[in-house]
Amino acid sequence: MGISLARLFRPYRLSLVLAISVLAGCTTVPRGAAVQTEILQAATEPAADFAVYPVTRAFLDTLPRWPGGDGARLSWIGASQGATDQIIRPGDSLGLRIWDRGENSLLTAPEERAVDLPDVRVSPGGSVFVPYLGDVTVAGQAVDDARAKIQTAVEAIVPSAQVQLTLSEGRGNSADLVGGVANPGSYPLPDRNYTVMNLIAAGGGVATGLRNPQVRLVRAQQVYGISVDRLFANPALDTRLTGGDKVFIEEDARFFLSLGAAGREAEHPFPRDHLTAIEALAIMGGVNDARADPAGILVLRDYPASAVRANGPSQRQVVFTLDLTTADGLFAARKFPIHHGDLVMATESPVTNLRTVLGLIGSAFGVANAVEN
């Protein structure tokens, strides 16, 4: 006497299928990332606040001329050749020994052959006090030149005198190795050819466990930087130190973000000095084979306002698009540089929506068949 559930639902099957088909055109279908067109569609609007640049091999030729670059990268000082002797600076200490064989010497007591003047500090004005001579300016001179100068002055009053001079480096002739090495501390500069690598070696080498270690050189309130790998690989970059320099080694603080249909959605540190788009994709676990659109890899980047000019980006915010389905796109991605703070996004494939809808339709028919049975 009652009506079966199967007969009750049968007239609504077509309506159910139509409703799910309409859902296919909606953006509310469950998924983990945006489709490329959804992100880029606003770029064509007059009030668009970001620019879009497809990454091709031809485009890569123009990219190095863009100003701004990777703001997280520091400049470095090229190596230069100095003299092998040391320069006396204020704050250094000199050791003077004056020999005199004269019987009635002004400098030595009877039965003495020499007089010692240890730890004579070079004044802030650059001079040292020598008895019977007064203040003698020695700062800015090599040790041998300063000894000859004092020798000449002493001979004027004691013709037979001979002068010996030794130098103990003060703060102005030392460099501080602050951290990132086995033995941090203050190290004297033995000559004007003492380099950053010499200082690191004196400190026991780079500490183990640092990811992509970076050398930082602080000089005159300016910070310079270079990676350890790059410094060690190119001796021409091993700059010589000057008194008062501070050197420390730290981990590379740069990172990029991955989002969307990627192998991992996370913050990724830079493992090396230079990172390309292909390398970034490998670090983030590639793209999801079942969801991602290989023709829709996006790199979102912010440029400083000063970079927006004729030979640079047209907007501060830029979206670079990479197509990994073409040889040109793959070759370009192998050379496209990733910057600190970039967002690498794998967009969702448009087919994903269709698969989701087909799954819903299949589920709906399954429910109806179950009811009918």
Q: Are residues 48 and 134 in the same domain?
A: no
| DSSP string computed for 220-265 | TTEEEEEEHHHHHH-GGG-PBP-TT-EEEEE----EEEEEESBS--
Domain that holds residue 183: 172-250
At residue 361 the predicted structure's pLDDT band, cuts being 50, 70 and 90, is low
Among 169, 188, 208, the domain boundary falls at: 169
User: Confidence band (pLDDT; 50, 70, 90) for 352?
Assistant: low
Q: Which residue has the higher pLDDT, 200 or 44?
A: 200
φ and ψ at 345, to 5 degrees?
Answer: -120, 130
- For residue 364, being part of any structural domain is answered with no
Give percent of the chain with pLDDT exceeding 90. Answer: 47
Q: Which residues contact residue 50 at a Cβ distance below 8 angstroms, ignoring those fewer than 6 apart?
A: 42, 43, 315, 317, 318, 319
Mean per-residue pLDDT, 350-367 = 55
Model confidence over 70-118: pLDDT tens digits? 767 788 987 766 556 778 888 888 998 888 876 666 666 666 778 888 8
Question: DSSP assignment, residue 138?
Answer: -
Considering the domain architecture, whether residues 100 and 164 belong to the same structural domain is answered as yes
Q: Are residues 223 and 281 in the same domain?
A: no
Name the residue among 228, 322, 242 with its Cα closest to residue 280.
322
Burial class (CB in 10 A: 0-12, 13-18, 19+), 63: middle
CATH number at residue 161: 3.30.1950.10
> pLDDT class for 365, splitting at 50, 70, 90?
low
> Within a domain: residue 98?
yes
Residue 6 has pLDDT above 80, yes or no: no
The residue ranking higher by pLDDT, 306 or 218, is 218
183 and 243, same structural domain? Answer: yes
pLDDT for the residue 241: 92
pLDDT of residue 355: 52
User: Does the pLDDT value for residue 67 go beyond 90?
Assistant: no
162-215 per-position pLDDT tens digit? 898 988 888 788 999 999 999 999 999 888 889 999 999 999 999 998 999 999
pLDDT at residue number 372 = 56
pLDDT score at 277: 97
Residues 261 and 345 in one domain: yes
Q: Is the pLDDT of residue 287 over 80?
A: yes
Total structural domains in the chain?
3
The CATH number given to whatever domain includes residue 206 is 3.10.560.10
Per-chain mean pLDDT for the chain:
84
pLDDT value, residue 282:
96
